[in-house]
A and B are shown apart, each in its own frame.
Chain A
């Protein structure tokens, strides 16, 4: 940027343009977050008694909090890994000169357009072990009926999440692939590199920024997953799918301990910010992402 744009006049313009945004984020994000931090220092059903850091020390020692955090991390890892592998595979397939690629792109992205609540209800119905349509189809095909929500509950809700979001990831990778100049591949071909080697040596490194973006967004949304437990499993069986946000929600609205719930929210927030910073640092390759 040219040095003269640093002049105070442009700074004034910048702030003026930013004014609505600053007011908005202050009123609807920072004020409420400040409120949550204040609540996290209180206790009681009306959150009106001073507790100091009591809620935080309690949360750090609470086995249920630890368990729900581990469940959430496992869920996020499954979703991130699935998003990258499946999203990239589909993007590479659709990047080929095939007939009907636009149609495939639309079909794969369609589940992304509907709501988590509807997706949850729909899959709950489909997966029902006794009355659901999936087992009906499996039995008709001579395969054994399955109880996905009992035998592998966490993986199942991760798969449903992937089902909904993989089209979106695919489009992000597709955009990334189309940004790689064809000449790189051609040069590698002339050097005699096979397809596998070209993928590892050229495609993957040049896609790094996309992969980073996909994984950062998937981690953020994976750690915040809520509807999957709220609609599909109710956190069960037992506490197998007690995702952190669902757990925090229940502490607030079922157990009615807003102070304790707020403290856990703040802790989760810190974890998400930390994860994101670590990822950005690890993924930064001479390029500033923000």
Chain B
């Protein structure tokens, strides 16, 4: 069994097909949706934990791409510029996953990439512009 965090980016007009249904039914993948932003006629983003046999994940990757949807394996969720950061905590106000939090003792900002949903809300919330998108992570091979 293999477990990855995947980011799917839907071009406009591709949000109609029940992609996740096929991933579950045809490839027997266990899917946990972490974040979804899919609207008609707009680029959509779906972030999910995916667990399954390695071959099945490979097959699912090919299927998703054949549907014209970008498939990325997310390793670094967002990139955080530690030097630019002033540990204010403004980003924690919008982080839904708790991946960005403040240490209650020394009040440093703590980023836990494994918990990140890649909703990217923090990008706008950071007054120092110290958080940048990780450009969809690494394309799956």
Asked if A pairs with B, the answer is no
Q: A residues within 8 Å of B by Cβ?
A: none
